[in-house]
């Protein structure tokens, strides 16, 4: 039964929804680009979901026959044991000789001693099959990839190098899709000598080295050669042992140069193989002096190796290589997904906290700026002071609304400090005092009160002065300034004396008519120094001949 594996699409949708929620509710980056960023989030999430869906569909289509074969081959293996057994993907040369074992049709799965061997006919299929195995094993990737190399199957070293580059790229892609670096192993199948061993099983013996970590260590390979040489010395009368030891040293050296170099060269674009082991066996296809290894031997020794016949199938799988295979801990993909979900929540919670902090900082800066602006405006600039006061009232109402109905999410998360600004806002608003009203002024035409050049009130002028008397009686407690003005006709000094005399005459009449003490009155003559219109026309000069009665608050009597 194939399990669901890692719910990548669910995690993508969850992350997208969380991003949209934080973006719209908390608005950590402001409102300027909210719609554009929303579209970007939706398009990016939809693209990821579509890509993942296509990837899984393609892997499922290409591995359907393998999954069926796996199900049939592992039907008797308990589910928990199936997950713990090493699963090895085998690709490269001579797969029919390794898997078919005389079967009427190609076999895809072989259950060996403690391992599941899975056949991958094309190295390019490694990513899809690795992903399918990742799903089939409930989130556990394959334990390793074995590259089977039969040098005699290749026309020359360049053709072999090209196949190796394809395998290198395929393993890099497979490691990427399963998010794990897959261990790589090399199994070299090559007839080393045409001689037959005394013990038929000797030709089926693997000479290998493997480790739990990647290695390229010439000393490890030297140990294999020394083992074969020691065996040849013990069996000095066995020509096969001597020829086998010499050929083994040659094939190991050739493998290091021709195979390991291509798979691990850091200058290649694909990621190098994580090489965990390599093995050689005197077993393989028919070979002659035109094959890559034989050519290398001839170049090194000037001796052409003899033609050899193919080893009858089946050929053994490199069981010794997987004995040191690193074992992975099986972690349920749902547990991994839960951990990722928690991490995503933590990331967006951090974004929400950052956004709330920024919004709170802007709120505090705005309110403090409004308070500083209000305080900096002097009372004599009342229009600007009223504008600043309106801003303070709006700030106070906003903070009061938050106190009554709750703080919005974009300001909350324990970062809201607006409540502490309410007292200074209320105090600043209460401190506003409107300016006193401007002095009341009554302007009287001098010609209606006085004859030209005279300072005595004319008969009948009382009717003109009734309004002034009523204004004075309606504003008790205010000082009364009586000021006289003339046009510019005549001598300035005479005009000044005349304006002062007319103001004094009007003051005396007002004292008598209103019964207000003389101490409340002040008299001032300005002559022609304060015209209200130019004196260049008769109408202008007529307007400038006037007497003004101004009511001024008595600061001595109205101080609180």
Residue 133 lies in a domain: yes
What region does 92 belong to: left with phi over 0, alpha with psi -120 to 50, or beta?
A: left
Higher-scoring residue by pLDDT: 426, 450: 426
Let me know how many helices (H) and strands (E) the chain has, helices first.
18, 11
Residue 518 belongs to what domain range?
440-553
Look at residue 558 in the predicted model and tell me its pLDDT: 47
Average confidence (pLDDT) over 413-425: 86
**Please, what is the angle between helix 333-376 and helix 422-430, to 10°?**
20
Residue 547 lies in a domain: yes
Split into its structural domains, the chain has a count of 3
Distance CA 332, CA 108 (A): 27
- Asked whether residue 423 falls in the same domain as residue 543, the answer is no
Distance CA 86, CA 325 (A): 8
- Asked whether residue 218 falls in the same domain as residue 348, the answer is no
Tell me if 156 sits within 8 A of 292, measured CB to CB.
yes
Distance CA 336, CA 10 (A): 13
Distance CA 124, CA 171 (A): 9
Each residue's pLDDT tens digit, 296-323? 888 888 877 888 999 888 899 998 888 8
- Asked whether residue 425 falls in the same domain as residue 448, the answer is no
Residue 49 lies in a domain: no
| Region of poorest pLDDT, from 156-165, 251-260, 473-482 | 473-482
CATH number (domain holding residue 504):
3.30.1330.60
Contacts with 530 (C-beta within 8 Å, 6 or more apart), sequence order = 485
| N- to C-terminal Cα separation, the chain | 94
Contacts with 243 (C-beta within 8 Å, 6 or more apart), sequence order = 192, 193, 195
Domain boundary among 393, 410, 430: 430
Query: Quick one: pLDDT band at residue 329, thresholds 50, 70, 90?
Result: low
> If you ran DSSP here, which 8-state letter would residue 530 be given?
S
Tokens of 216: 């390229």
Each residue's pLDDT tens digit, 45-79? 999 999 888 877 876 776 677 777 777 777 666 76
Look at residue 365 in the predicted model and tell me its pLDDT: 92
Residue 2 lies in a domain: no
Distance CA 524, CA 499 (A): 8
3-state DSSP assignment of residue 534? coil
Contacts with 367 (C-beta within 8 Å, 6 or more apart), sequence order = 395, 399, 418, 421, 425
Backbone φ, ψ for residue 430 (5° rounding):
-70, -20
Tell me if 159 sits within 8 A of 297, measured CB to CB.
no
Contacts with 261 (C-beta within 8 Å, 6 or more apart), sequence order = none
Cβ-based burial of 474 (10 A; exposed 0-12, middle 13-18, buried ≥19):
exposed
3-state DSSP assignment of residue 538? helix
- Residue 450 pairs with which residues in a beta bridge? 457
Look at residue 89 in the predicted model and tell me its pLDDT: 95
- Asked whether residue 316 falls in the same domain as residue 386, the answer is no
- Element holding 269 (H helix, E strand): none
Residue 63 lies in a domain: no
- Asked whether residue 104 falls in the same domain as residue 237, the answer is yes
- Asked whether residue 290 falls in the same domain as residue 323, the answer is yes
- Asked whether residue 263 falls in the same domain as residue 358, the answer is no
Average confidence (pLDDT) over 155-169: 93
Closest CA to 283 of 199, 201, 160, 184: 201
Look at residue 473 in the predicted model and tell me its pLDDT: 81
Look at residue 190 in the predicted model and tell me its pLDDT: 93
Tokens of 211: 């480790």
Look at residue 1 in the predicted model and tell me its pLDDT: 39
pLDDT at 264 exceeding the cut of 80: yes
3-state DSSP assignment of residue 330? coil
pLDDT at 465 exceeding the cut of 60: yes
Domain boundary among 283, 307, 331: 331
Residue 115 lies in a domain: yes
Higher-scoring residue by pLDDT: 332, 450: 450
Instruction: Provide the strand spans (E) within 204-316.
Output: 206-210, 275-282
Distance CA 373, CA 371 (A): 5
Look at residue 559 in the predicted model and tell me its pLDDT: 40
Query: Quick one: pLDDT band at residue 2, thresholds 50, 70, 90?
Result: very low
Tokens of 50: 């579509």
Distance CA 54, CA 46 (A): 12
> If you ran DSSP here, which 8-state letter would residue 308 be given?
B
If you count them, how many residues does the chain have? 560
Each residue's pLDDT tens digit, 495-552? 899 999 989 988 988 888 888 888 888 999 999 999 999 988 988 888 888 998 888 8
Instruction: Tell me, rounded to whole angstroms, the distance of Cα 202 from its chain centroid.
Output: 61
Higher-scoring residue by pLDDT: 71, 141: 141
- Residue 189 pairs with which residues in a beta bridge? 281
- Asked whether residue 207 falls in the same domain as residue 311, the answer is yes
Query: Quick one: pLDDT band at residue 330, thresholds 50, 70, 90?
Result: low
- Element holding 350 (H helix, E strand): helix 333-376
Each residue's pLDDT tens digit, 199-248? 766 667 899 888 888 877 667 788 888 888 888 888 878 888 888 888 99
> If you ran DSSP here, which 8-state letter would residue 493 be given?
H
- Asked whether residue 224 falls in the same domain as residue 135, the answer is yes
| Region of poorest pLDDT, from 17-31, 67-81, 82-96, 403-417 | 67-81
Domain boundary among 331, 353, 368: 331
Average confidence (pLDDT) over 156-183: 92
Look at residue 235 in the predicted model and tell me its pLDDT: 81
Look at residue 260 in the predicted model and tell me its pLDDT: 92
- Asked whether residue 242 falls in the same domain as residue 266, the answer is yes
Tell me if 307 sits within 8 A of 107, measured CB to CB.
no
Distance CA 447, CA 466 (A): 17
Residue 308 lies in a domain: yes
DSSP 118-176: EEESSGGGHHHHHHHHHHHTTTPPPSEEEEEE-GGGSSSHHHHHHHHHHHHHHHHHHHH
Residue 171 lies in a domain: yes
> If you ran DSSP here, which 8-state letter would residue 90 be given?
E
Residue with tokens 């295979």: 325
% of the chain exceeding 70 in pLDDT: 92
- Asked whether residue 446 falls in the same domain as residue 323, the answer is no
CA distances from 184 to 133, 171, 202, 327, 328 (A): 16, 8, 26, 14, 15
Distance CA 91, CA 185 (A): 11
What average pLDDT is seen over the chain?
85
- Asked whether residue 215 falls in the same domain as residue 91, the answer is yes
Distance CA 549, CA 474 (A): 14
């Amino acid at each position: 039964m194939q399990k669901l594996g890692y719910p990548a699409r669910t995690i993508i949708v969850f992350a997208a929804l969380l991003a949209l929620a934080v973006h719209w509710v908390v608005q950590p980056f402001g409102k300027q680009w909210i719609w554009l960023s929303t579209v970007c989030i939706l398009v990016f999430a939809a693209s990821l979901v579509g890509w993942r869906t296509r990837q899984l569909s393609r892997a499922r289509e290409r591995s359907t026959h393998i999954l069926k074969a796996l199900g049939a081959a592992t039907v008797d293996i308990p589910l928990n044991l199936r997950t713990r057994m090493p699963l090895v993907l085998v690709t490269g040369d001579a797969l029919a000789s390794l898997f078919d074992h005389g079967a009427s049709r190609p076999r895809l799965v072989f259950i060996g001693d403690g391992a599941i061997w899975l056949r991958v006919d094309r190295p390019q299929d490694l990513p899809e099959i690795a992903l399918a195995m990742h799903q089939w094993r409930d989130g556990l990737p394959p334990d390793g990839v074995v590259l089977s190399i039969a040098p005699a199957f290749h026309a020359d070293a360049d053709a072999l190098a090209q196949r190796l580059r394809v395998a290198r790229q395929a393993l890099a892609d497979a490691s990427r899709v399963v998010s794990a670096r897959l261990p790589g192993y090399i199994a070299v199948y090559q007839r080393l000598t045409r001689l037959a061993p005394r013990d038929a099983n000797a030709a089926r013996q693997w000479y290998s080295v493997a480790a739990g970590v990647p290695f390229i260590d010439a000393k490890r390979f030297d140990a294999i050669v020394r083992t074969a040489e020691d065996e040849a010395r013990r069996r000095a009368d066995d020509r096969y042992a001597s020829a086998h030891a010499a050929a083994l040293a040659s094939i190991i050296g050739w493998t290091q140069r021709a195979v390991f170099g291509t798979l691990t060269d850091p200058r290649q674009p694909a990621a190098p193989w994580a090489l965990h082991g390599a093995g050689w066996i005197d077993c393989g296809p028919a070979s002659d002096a035109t094959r890559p290894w034989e050519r290398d031997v001839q170049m090194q020794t000037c001796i052409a190796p003899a033609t050899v016949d193919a080893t009858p199938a089946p050929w053994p799988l490199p069981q010794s290589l997987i004995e040191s295979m690193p074992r992975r801990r099986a972690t349920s993909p749902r547990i991994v997904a839960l951990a990722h979900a928690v991490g995503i929540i933590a990331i967006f919670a951090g974004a929400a906290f950052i956004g709330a902090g920024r919004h709170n900082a802007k709120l505090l800066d705005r309110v403090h700026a409004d308070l500083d602006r209000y305080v900096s405006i002097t009372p004599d600039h009342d229009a600007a002071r009223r504008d600043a006061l309106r801003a303070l009232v709006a700030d106070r109402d906003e903070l009061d609304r938050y106190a009554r109905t709750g703080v919005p999410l974009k300001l909350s998360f324990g970062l809201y400090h607006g409540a502490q600004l309410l007292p200074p806002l209320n105090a600043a608003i209460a401190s506003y005092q409107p300016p006193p009203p401007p002095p009341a002024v009554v302007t009287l035409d001098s010609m209606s009160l006085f004859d030209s050049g005279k300072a005595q009130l004319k008969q009948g002028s009382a009717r003109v002065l009734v309004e002034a008397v009523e204004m004075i009686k309606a504003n008790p407690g205010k000082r009364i300034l009586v000021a006289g003005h003339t046009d510019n006709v005549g001598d300035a000094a005479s005009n000044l004396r005349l304006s002062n005399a007319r103001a004094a005459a009007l003051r005396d009449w007002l004292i008598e008519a209103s019964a207000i003490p003389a101490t409340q009155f002040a008299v001032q003559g300005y002559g022609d120094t304060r015209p209200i219109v130019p004196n260049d026309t008769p109408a202008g000069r007529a307007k400038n001949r006037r007497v003004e009665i101004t009511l001024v608050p008595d600061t001595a009597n109205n101080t609180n």
